[in-house]
């Protein structure tokens, strides 16, 4: 195993050539990256031509703001409860205020702890956990940061 360090804000430093790394991968190889947003943006660009299932990344912070426009209802399929999500609140805020507390941790859409199955409605995905294909399926949501594109979401809670 070989280990090398690259620093891009040091005298005589050179930036890690992510494009060269991505292009040199054998077919079917998986590539992983975690780090700050600018580095992950460069990584996403460098790996754009690879199969999405082979590209993995982990963010340290949210990329976009949580959905807090509100104005929709969340129906909880198991309990039959309905929770109104008001402006300024996330779905998680509204659930907790309504006495329902699903598991959660980061509250930034990066850990996946708060994932809930969507039974009806279209989420406004704001997380960094689900892939583009998973978001397009609209069958799960991170309730800490994502909202709704429809007047009602039915969740498996
Ligand atoms: S609590 Fe981490 S993604 Fe929602």
- C-alpha distances in Å from residue 96, one per residue of 32, 38, 86, 87, 113: 34, 34, 13, 15, 15
C-beta separation of 127 from 145 below 8 A: yes
Centre of ligand 1 from the C-alpha of residue 141, in Å: 10
State how far Cα 13 lies from the chain centre: 32
pLDDT of residue 109: 95
Centre of ligand 1 from the C-alpha of residue 51, in Å: 26
- C-alpha distances in Å from residue 51, one per residue of 28, 35, 63, 120: 8, 21, 22, 29
Q: Is the pTM of this model over 0.95?
A: no
N- to C-terminal Cα distance for the chain? Answer: 46
**Best mutation site among 103, 113, 141 for ligand 1 pocket (most ligand atoms within 8 Å of CB):** 113
pLDDT in tens, the chain (157 residues): 888 888 888 888 888 899 999 999 999 999 999 888 888 999 999 999 999 889 988 888 888 899 999 999 999 999 999 999 999 999 999 999 999 999 999 999 999 999 999 999 999 999 999 988 899 999 999 999 999 999 999 999 9
Centre of ligand 1 from the C-alpha of residue 104, in Å: 5
- The residue whose CA has the least distance to atom 3 of ligand 1 is 109
């Amino acid at each position: 195993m070989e280990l090398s360090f690259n620093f891009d804000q040091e005298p005589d430093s050179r930036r890690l050539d992510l494009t060269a790394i991505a292009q040199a991968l054998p077919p079917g190889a998986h590539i992983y990256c975690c780090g700050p947003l600018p580095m992950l943006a460069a990584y996403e660009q460098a790996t754009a031509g690879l199969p999405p299932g082979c590209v993995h990344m982990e963010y340290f912070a949210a990329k976009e703001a949580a959905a807090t426009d509100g104005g929709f209802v969340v129906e909880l399929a198991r309990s039959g409860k309905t929770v109104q999500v008001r402006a300024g609140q996330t779905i998680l805020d509204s659930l907790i205020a309504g006495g329902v507390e699903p598991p959660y941790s980061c509250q930034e859409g990066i850990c996946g702890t708060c994932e809930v199955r969507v039974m009806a409605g279209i989420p406004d995905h704001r997380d960094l956990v689900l892939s583009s294909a998973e978001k397009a399926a609209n069958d799960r949501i991170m309730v800490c940061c994502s909202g709704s594109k429809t007047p009602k979401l039915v969740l498996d809670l």
